[in-house]
Structure 1
């Protein structure tokens, strides 16, 4: 016998209340699941970063810095070095030629990025061997030899580097579900195994890792400058996709690809500092290129850099890093404005390098 009076029935919750309760339960489960996933993701990121950290590299800071930079407060630069360390090449990761070189300079105040592509056949002075040659050959002396060459060429410190092989590039793009790029022309290109299996039609489309790599590497239908522009486009597409909310659940696969196929001098805590640049979405990225001309006068192809244009690029990068000084800065409005907005305090730049750099250049023309 129930306690309810005869004829009375227990009231059922209204449909609205049931929906509300169910929604609250689902939201609570989502919050818990997201928090658990985020915690697990952080641990996986730390593990990947530790795997990628180059423990054998003894370079604590750039020789152009008086003190080490702090990404949370300083303007910094990152050199991306793409290499082909496949077994077919037989050179190993540390002594392979660099297939792609991109320098990103990050301004902490504006959260902006200036991204410079350096043509692989640029004819430059390589300090490690004390002679001029294609910049791609600098990496035969190791990553530090490439860094020294880039610093000597651009007169800016390289604070951090990421050295990625082709496998990392392919796996990162695939983990993101592909990236959207504008293919400039019909492409029939070699894949990462040097087999002609990549075929693309011109136009805006989503490409997978193998296709993105082929598009970044091809050199037959345009110039080294346009090759750099294609690499910048693909990198920007990766950043855009990676910074989108929809990529949150794909980060574990990205981290696995990065940890297994990349080396860097950046610690996990330093990496976390750069989240500020993408937490609001895609950062403001300006693409730069080095002007020059083709040279086959010796029977070997070189890309001869235009000296006045090189100085202008140096000043833009130095302004972005807050390193403009009266002797090297030109009077362009961009450089002046950038210098006004950047903070040089704490940057630790070694101004004595200027005279050494100029002396090296004069001795190696």
Structure 2
């Protein structure tokens, strides 16, 4: 009996970077991911986030300890509640109360904007360092400590009013996500322009099933 060793050459993070690079034709150089506990801790360290819950969200799953019970209205959510707010998908009251991926994305963007506003108002570097310390053990990234500090300093000076969301026109149908071709190409072109991606770089990055020169069909690079 022989032992066979396999070397993992691709992780979830590297695959996401590679996929986004090919589809959007922009260089995705780094990633940062944070686990649920880290998300809760950061929100609590920021003394919560104020959001306008648009409808009642209710889901109870005793098998994993999930208990979501949020009522509509403007309110400050703590770490646990904020995680419930961005995670809600199924609902105990039935399918018509479910949250789609687009609902979840909208809520996530809302929370990120509030967090950005709070980061900009921290003022003191000691508070920023404390926040990084709280998040530290729950973060996974390929950034160095120095790069993380530099990024944190940049984020502190960003105002939510400068954040822009790009609508790709995506919609859900029969278990699949479909993208509006023209809106997707607009998103891709906008990102390339803002990142100053050169035309010669684009040809090297291209691995997309959607091509600007072929607006009638969808093709896949082999």
Pair in the same fold by TM > 0.5: yes
2:157 paired with 1:287: no
* Superimposed CA distance per residue, residues 167-206 of structure 1 (whole angstroms, 9 cap, x where no aligned partner): 1111110111111111111122358x83343322111111
2:131 paired with 1:257: no
Distance 1:196 1:261, change over 3 A: closer
Q: After TM superposition, give the deviation of residue 160 of structure 1 in Å.
A: 1.8
Gaps of 5+ in 2: 1-7, 91-97, 212-217
2:2 paired with 1:145: no
RMSD across aligned positions (CA): 3.2
Aligned twin of 1:269: 146
Aligned twin of 2:192: 318
Aligned twin of 1:305: 179
Stretches (4+) displaced over 6 A? 358-361
Distance 1:143 1:212, change over 3 A: same
SS for the counterpart of 2:50 is strand
Pairing 1:160-309 to 2, within 5 Å after superposition? 160-189=30-59, 194-220=64-90, 221-245=98-122, 250-274=127-151, 275-279=153-157, 282=160, 284-296=162-174, 301-309=175-183
Aligned twin of 1:362: 219
Corresponding residue pairs, total: 200
| Higher percent of residues as strand | 1
**Distance in 1 (alpha carbons) for counterparts of 2:205 and 2:12:** 25
TM-score by length of 1: 0.48
TM-score by length of 2: 0.75
Pairing 1:79-118 to 2, within 5 Å after superposition? none
SS for the counterpart of 2:76 is strand
Distance 1:253 1:272, change over 3 A: closer
Q: After TM superposition, give the deviation of residue 356 of structure 1 in Å.
A: 5.0
SS for the counterpart of 2:137 is helix
Larger Rg: 1
**Distance in 2 (alpha carbons) for counterparts of 1:189 and 1:356:** 40
Gaps of 5+ in 1: 1-94, 96-127, 129-140, 326-348
